[in-house]
Amino acid sequence: MREAIRQVLFVHHDPAASDTKIALADTEARIVYDRYLKMA
Mind listing the pLDDT tens digit for each residue in 1-31? 567 777 777 777 788 888 898 889 889 988 9
Q: Which pTM value belongs to this model? A: 0.60
Using CA atoms, how far apart are residues 1 and 18, in angstroms rounded to an integer?
36
Torsion of Cα atoms, 27 then 33 then 38 then 39, to 10°: 130
- Strand segments, DSSP code E, in the chain are none
For residue 35, pLDDT over 90 is answered with yes
